[in-house]
Every structure is written in structure tokens, then in C-alpha cells.
Amino acid sequence: MRERIGILTGGGDCPGLNTVIRAVVKCASKRGWDTVGFLDGFEGMLEPLRYRQLDYKEMDALLFVGGTVLGTSNKGRFAAKTGHGESNRIPREILDLAEANFQKLGLRALVVVGGDGSLSSAQQLFEHGVPVIGVPKTIDNDLEATVMTFGFDSAVACATDALDRLRTTAESHDRVMVLEVMGRYTGWIAVTAGISGGGDVILIPEIPFNFESVCAKVADREREGKHFTLVVVAEGAREQGKDYVTSGSAEKNREARLGGIGAVVAAEIQKRTGKETRVCVLGHLQRGGAPTSFDRVLCTRFGERAVQLIAEERYGCMVASRPPDTVAVKISEAVGHLRAVPPHGEMVQTARALGISFGD
Ligand code: F6P
């Protein structure tokens, strides 16, 4: 009987999940292990127990397919994170059930592919006795322990493409175009896409803004004969002294849904400058589609390293990118620490040097 490992994908999806699954299954197979995938995140480990055997031969097709063939969930009985920095203890009977099902399938270890929330759940499962290895994903790139999460580069590519498109229509109509991007409580997508897509104003949570400054930039451009302006707004951006804008009340055991700041910014710019302003909310387009080549390579490296960590029995660890290496860090030290854009760091300084305004 061949040894078996398990894998699950948890939290919001992002491009590259299938690429990690493929790498894990292929590398495990080379070591003589089979892989089973739990369905819909941790939910598949509970009752009813839901999983599928991942066939080595099916894996090649997954290299560039977005989403996750295993399904995922960012709510449910296993939710360990409820808000900005808040976390829950998962009920003991739920951990017992997951552990019993893990044993029932005779698994050697479990690979959890997820963001801060899923990795917090993974840590609790590890403390409960399940040998776990974590792989960090999120388009937000907001995990402190890793320089890069996979999915981020693909989301930035999507936002950059959107800015390229918005630029031509903004220029044709002499308009201000506001692009709202995701990123939760950090501005990594906004600042990175803002630089690569030639944004004129970038608003991020780490640097609260005021409208005088934002509108002054629009006016400066007018004076320079540039009659259009591109504004990139992170969903977590906020006006100085104001709170985050949310798109709905938080459901029980779930994080607040950010969103709507783009419309607020567009309305205020139009009111103050008299310039016709439109808003585009990029939303889940950033989470769909094929991973970029950078993400495909990162996912493959992460998947391979995860299998290696199982072979070395370094349970409770998560793979992390510390260029040029992929290293292992303790999940307990990796979760709960938000990696924010340093307001005086190189990215922001580079943008400012180019004349980009942060609205402060
Ligand atoms: O964490 C990834 C993310 O896409 C955030 O950028 C965004 O705030 C959130 O998930 C959206 O979640 P949902 O898909 O539940 O609306």
C-alpha cells in the first residue's frame, strides 16, 4: 500500500492554486506517495467527509487553469479569522472530527494552501496533532513571513491591464478614471499596479488621504496640459480621520467586506474639480484566470518545497519566499502579522519621485 498525503485549498481563491496542487501531486508521486484532495477547504475534512484521489496523469492540464479543482471556502465551521487581526478558537469537536478523518484516510501529512485565515486554522489543527505544512496564497500579498504570496503577481497583471485600458478612454474623454482594486487592509496591489500602469494618484490604507491633495494633483495635471487623470484606489484606502468603507455588514464569523471607496473618491473628485469622473471596480477579475508565468514558477517552487518539508517531517512549518530562496518558517510565527506597504519604503519613494500623489 502506497503512502498518502492530503491537500486542501482554503480561503478566497486566486490564480495558481491548481498549479500548487499539480506540483504537490507530481513531487509526491515521485516519492511514491499518493495525494488526496479535500473538497471545499477544511469543510471537506468534516462530516460528510468529502475528498478525491488526485490522479498524477490529470495534473499536467492544471498548470495554467485558474481557480481550484478542489473548491475552497472562506466561511464555515473551520473559520479561525473574523476580522482585522481578530481570530477565533475552532471548537474542539470540529478539530477532533478533522483529525479523526485524517487518521481514517491513513494520511501521512496535510498540505494547507491558504492565506492568513486558513493558515491560522492550519496552526490550530497542527496543535491538535495533525502534521501540517502550509503554503501561503493571497492576491493581497499581506503575509509578513513571506516576501511574496502566489496570486499577487497575477492580480497585479490584471490591474495593470485595466489601467492600460482606462488610460486610453480617460484620455479620449478628458476624464478622471478611478480604479478600485482589492488588497484588503494593505495597498500592495494598488501601489504595484499603480506604478506599472502609470497611475497619477494612488490611495492606499497605509497612507490616509485628503481630497484637497488628490484634487490638487488633478489640477496640476490640467495646468500641464494633461486633461485626464488615473486614480488607483485600494479597497482599504481611507480618508484621513475616517474609517474603512465596507460594502455590506460583516456576516457572523466572517471578515468585513471592504469596497465602495472608489465611488466615494470619484464622486468627491467630480464635485470638487468639475471634471467628469468615472469609477471602475475591478473586483473578482483580479482573482480569476490563468496565473502569470511568475506565479506559475512560484507555485511550483512552493509545491515542491512543501513535499520536501513533509519528507523532512518539519510539520507546523510554512514555505516562504525569501529571494533567491524558498525557505520554511513556523506557521505560528507567520500568521496574524500583517505585512503592510512601508509608507516610507522604496516603492512609495519611487512613486513619489515620479510625481505620483498618495493624496497625503
Ligand atoms: O483576500 C483576498 C480578497 O480578494 C480581498 O482582496 C478581498 O477583500 C476579499 O478577498 C474578497 O472576498 P470575497 O470573495 O469573500 O468577496
pLDDT (tens digit per residue) in 286-319: 999 999 999 999 999 999 999 999 999 999 999 9
Overall average pLDDT of the 47-68 stretch = 94
88 vs 89, higher pLDDT: 89
What pLDDT band is residue 144 in, cutting at 50, 70 and 90? Answer: very high
| Ligand 1 touching residue 246 (CB < 6 A) | no
Could you give the domains of the chain?
4-151+289-334 (3.40.50.450), 155-287+342-353 (3.40.50.460)
Overall average pLDDT of the 330-337 stretch = 92
Per residue in 251-290, pLDDT (tens digit) is 666 678 999 999 999 999 999 999 999 999 999 999 999 9
Whether 77 has a pLDDT exceeding 90, the answer reads no
Overall average pLDDT of the 159-172 stretch = 98
Whether 83 has a pLDDT exceeding 80, the answer reads no
| Ligand 1 touching residue 140 (CB < 6 A) | yes
SS (H, E, C) the chain: CCEEEEEEECCCCCCCHHHHHHHHHHHHHHCCEEEEEECCHHHHHCCCCCEEEECHHHHHHHCCCCCCCCCCCCCCCCCCEEECCEECCCCHHHHHHHHHHHHHCCEEEEEEEECHHHHHHHHHHHHCCCCEEEEEECCCCCECCCCCCECHHHHHHHHHHHHHHHHHHHHHHCCEEEEEECCCCCCHHHHHHHHHCCCCEEEECCECECHHHHHHHHHHHHHCCCCCEEEEEECCCCECCCCCCEEECCCCCCCCEECCHHHHHHHHHHHHHCCCEEEEECHHHHHCCCCCHHHHHHHHHHHHHHHHHHHCCCCCEEEEEECCEEEEEEHHHHCCCECCCCCCCHHHHHHHHCCCECCC
| Ligand 1 touching residue 184 (CB < 6 A) | yes
| Ligand 1 touching residue 181 (CB < 6 A) | no
Question: In this predicted structure, what is the pLDDT of residue 85?
Answer: 60
Overall average pLDDT of the 116-121 stretch = 94
Overall average pLDDT of the 141-167 stretch = 97
Overall average pLDDT of the 29-34 stretch = 96
Question: In this predicted structure, what is the pLDDT of residue 82?
Answer: 61
What pLDDT band is residue 169 in, cutting at 50, 70 and 90? Answer: very high
Percentage of residues in the chain having pLDDT higher than 70: 96
Average pLDDT, the chain: 95
CA distance 122 to 111: 9
Question: In this predicted structure, what is the pLDDT of residue 81?
Answer: 66
Question: In this predicted structure, what is the pLDDT of residue 325?
Answer: 95
Residue of 118, 137, 182 to mutate, ligand 1, most atoms within 8 A of C-beta: 182
Cβ atoms of 103 and 294 within 8 Å: the answer is no
140 has catalytic annotation: yes
Ligand 1: nearest atom to the Cα of 236? 8
CA distance 70 to 359: 42
Check 13, 40, 116, 140 and give the catalytic one: 140
Whether 9 has a pLDDT exceeding 90, the answer reads yes
| Ligand 1 touching residue 155 (CB < 6 A) | no
- Choose among 32, 24, 8: nearest CA to 59: 24
Which residue's CA is minimally distant from atom 9 of ligand 1? 184
Percentage of residues in the chain having pLDDT higher than 90: 89
Question: In this predicted structure, what is the pLDDT of residue 247?
Answer: 87
The reply to whether the predicted model has a pTM over 0.75 is: yes
CA of 90 to the centre of ligand 1 (A): 22
Cβ atoms of 97 and 50 within 8 Å: the answer is no
Question: In this predicted structure, what is the pLDDT of residue 79?
Answer: 75
| Ligand 1 touching residue 17 (CB < 6 A) | no
CA of 218 to the centre of ligand 1 (A): 30
| Ligand 1 touching residue 138 (CB < 6 A) | yes
CA of 184 to the centre of ligand 1 (A): 7
| Ligand 1 touching residue 183 (CB < 6 A) | yes
Residue of 140, 154, 247 to mutate, ligand 1, most atoms within 8 A of C-beta: 140
Question: In this predicted structure, what is the pLDDT of residue 143?
Answer: 95
Which residue's CA is minimally distant from atom 13 of ligand 1? 12
- What are the distances in angstroms from CA 67 to CA 112, 121, 185, 249, 284? 16, 21, 23, 26, 11
Question: In this predicted structure, what is the pLDDT of residue 100?
Answer: 97
Which residue's CA is minimally distant from atom 12 of ligand 1? 12
Whether 130 has a pLDDT exceeding 70, the answer reads yes
